A and B are shown apart, each in its own frame.
Chain A
Amino acid sequence: MATLDHSNAAAAPRFRDAATEPPGAKFALILIAILFLAFFLALPLVSVFFEAFRKGPEAFWEAISEPDALAAIRLTLLVAVIAVPLNLVFGVAAAWAIAKFEFKGKAFLITLIDLPFSVSPVISGLVFVVLFGTHSVLGPILNSYGIEILFAVPGIVLATVFVTFPFVARELIPLMQEQGSGDEEAALSLGASGWQAFWYVTVPNIRWGLLYGVLLCNARAMGEFGAVSVVSGHIRGVTNTMPLHVEILYNEYNVSAAFAVATLLAGLALVTLGLKTVLELRFGAGNAGGRH
């Protein structure tokens, strides 16, 4: 017994939780994380703003207020204004179908929704070239009615809708699956119509997830480069979105103007991230409090 007591006494001050690292390892891990974040995230962002203002605020202002830049900003906003509401509706419909109903081919539909995420955006763009190009079936027919898809705004909108389709649906599917259809059934049993159940019960239940999905969808819609680049035709002041405009300026060695426009996109990203954080705080709190 005496020896046992002795070893216990020696071990006692060294008690530690099984899941706690030694202080040295803890410090090293934190340092690695901070260095990584600084090098790969903070540094590029800072350098974008630094480059943009290198020639002073006047040059910056000029770069973002010249007609081609304004046209690019307008087009980007227009595309987002069309693509985001469309994908809001598609996303909710798809998530609703997947989460609330059992049907054949459900797994296939889920895979299909993920398709825009899994193929390269360039391929997504090329799909529309194949569909609506001069050698396609649809392109010449639409052309004969005076409808331009490729190298025009409709093509850019289509490509953007395709690329940003999964955001809302992906956000809502797990949320709606977890919630099940108990609340909707309760609403129906109390005499609510399908629409009433949707507006009064489903939408409030998914509102934070929905907003989050819309935010991500919007960020991507405004920032999409690859697919849009293929279908746009890069016509200055007509079919150039902000990311395409940035590329053109950069290729023309107009670096500070390119970075000036880039700051607008970077700013959008920052605002999105900020809103997302705020939403997550609310979202998380709402979820934790709302468990039955």
Chain B
Amino acid sequence: MPVADTERSSPMEVTVSGISKQFDRYPALKDVSLKINSGELIALLGPSGSGKTTLLRLIAGLEQPNGGQILFGDEDASQKTVQERNVGFVFQHYALFKHMTVAENIAFGLKVRPAESRPPKAEIRKRVSDLLDMVHLPGLEKRYPNQLSGGQRQRVALARAVAIEPKVLLLDEPFGALDAKVRKELRRWLREFHDRTGHTTVFVTHDQEEALELADRVVVMSQGRIEQVGSADDVYDRPNSPFVFSFIGESSHLPVRIENGAVLFQGQPIGISEPGPDGEGMLFFRPQDVVEVNDGPRLTGKVTASRRLAGARIAELDISDEGAAHHVEIGVPLETRVEIGGELGFRPVHWKIFRNT
């Protein structure tokens, strides 16, 4: 087998259309549609219970949908079993077969093939050693999974999934069980691996940093629905819903009223404007997107805490209302001494208002 064949796969486009899934009357996915381009590296990002893992398992065929269709290329995969779909699935805890060596694990998908499509032994051996080179673990054929580190197991699981020349590569929380340093290394490594092999790859994560750094496009999910699909810049800079704004990155929000284009908080103008009709809405802004303002229209609050966050200092403010107390976080210059209990005035420079419907 020429090396090029193991290295480069023919990528496959995946279309999810109108998929819904119900577990015991509790809906896990509600009418979800998504087009995954061939060769794309895509992240399903969301809090636990958002349905991201369910969507991944539906694409794999490990779960059956209650409605909707999944297409691999132009082919309807919905009715196919997991075996027929030929997907490479990397499980959260790797699911390596612990009684088999690394080589036996990687070769498993080839050995269980019916005799007519099973490669000869020598070729399987060659393929296993090529794959181990590819995942940077040469010579580990005879080890057992319990003799490997977490990061090594992860890469063996990936080699095992890729060994069957899958149409799509699916990874469930691929770095979830690893410590922070190994996570970072493997993240970069997976990106390289993807660029080299060109598989259409979908991975699930609850770690936004991971999703934003690694994926071509991020699918933000919440409560069984897709909230937004877009590049890292799209979902961070142009969130399209209150959920995405508060889920991705740090942010604060305040209930505001818009009157004649001016934005009012507790009846007072705060020095920013918003086009459109009068009405109520929710103002969102990020801590670093504010300026300190000491007079004129502004927001003011009492400092309740201040903390150092890497290259920034964050002040927590209490902006009380008659009814409810509001807390916001704003970035202040590092050299500023923030006094607990003191007053601080500010105005957002970048913000977004989601109108109440």
User: Is B62 among interface residues, defined by CB-CB distance under 8 A?
Assistant: yes
- Whether the pair B96, A292 counts as a contact (CB closer than 8 A) is yes
Once the chains are docked, how many angstroms separate the CA of A185 from the CA of B89? 9
A200 x B112 contact (CB < 8 A): yes
B152 to chain A, nearest CB (A): 12
Secondary structure of the A contact surface, majority rule: helix
**B-side contacts of A21, CB under 8 Å:** none
Bound CA span A204–B104, Å: 14
Q: Chain A residues near B97 (CB, 8 Å)?
A: 183, 186-187, 200-201, 204
User: Which residues of the partner chain B approach A290 to less than 8 Å between Cβ atoms?
Assistant: 98-99, 145-146
CB-contact partner of A191 in B60, B95, B153, B164, under 8 A: B164
Complex Cα gap A182–B195 (Å): 28
**How many inter-chain contacts with C-beta < 8 Å in the A-B complex?**
74
> Interface 1/0s, chain B 276-307, versus A by CB < 8 A?
00000000000000000000000000000000
B113 at the interface (CB under 8 A from A): yes
In the complex, A200 Cα to B99 Cα: how many Å?
10
* A190 close to B (CB within 8 Å): yes
**For B98, B108, B113, B164, which residue has the most chain A Cβ atoms within 10 angstroms?**
B98
Bound Cα distance A189, B163 (Å): 12
Interface positions, chain A 132-185, Cβ under 8 Å from B, are 182-183, 185
| A191 in contact with B93 (CB, 8 Å) | no
Bound CA–CA A16/B155 (angstroms): 47
Complex Cα distance A290/B153, Å?
Answer: 13
Known: A201-B97, A290-B146. A191 touches B109 (CB 8 A): yes
Q: Min CB distance, A203 to chain B, in Å?
A: 10
A289 within 8 A of B: yes
**Of A185, A190, A291, which contacts B112 at CB under 8 A?**
A190
B204 CB within 8 Å of chain A: no
Shortest distance between the CB of B146 and any CB in chain A (Å): 5
B57 CB, min distance to chain A CBs, angstroms: 9
Which of B62, B96, B112 is close to A196, meaning CB atoms less than 8 Å apart?
B112
| Interface assignment of A130: CB less than 8 Å from any CB of chain B | no
Check if A291 sits within 8 Å of B146, measured CB to CB: yes
| CB proximity to B under 8 Å, residues A187-213 | 187-193, 196, 200-201, 204-205
Asked whether any CB of chain A lies closer than 8 Å to the CB of B87, the reply is: yes
Residues in B neighbouring A188, C-beta threshold 8 A? 62, 81-83
Instruction: Give the chain A neighbours of B82 by CB distance below 8 A.
Output: 185, 188-189
Contact residues of B with A, CB < 8 Å?
60, 62, 81-83, 86-89, 91, 93-99, 108-109, 112-113, 144-146, 153, 160-161, 163-164
Known pairs A182-B91, A204-B99 / 15 extra A-B pairs, C-beta < 8 Å: A185-B82, A186-B160, A187-B108, A188-B81, A189-B161, A190-B163, A191-B109, A192-B109, A193-B112, A201-B97, A204-B97, A289-B146, A290-B145, A291-B146, A292-B96
Nearest first, the 3 closest Cβ-Cβ pairs linking A and B are A190-B109, A186-B95, A189-B89
Can you give 19 A-B contacts (C-beta < 8 A)?
Answer: A182-B95, A183-B97, A187-B112, A188-B82, A188-B83, A189-B83, A190-B108, A190-B164, A192-B83, A193-B112, A200-B97, A201-B97, A204-B97, A289-B146, A290-B145, A292-B93, A292-B95, A292-B145, A292-B146
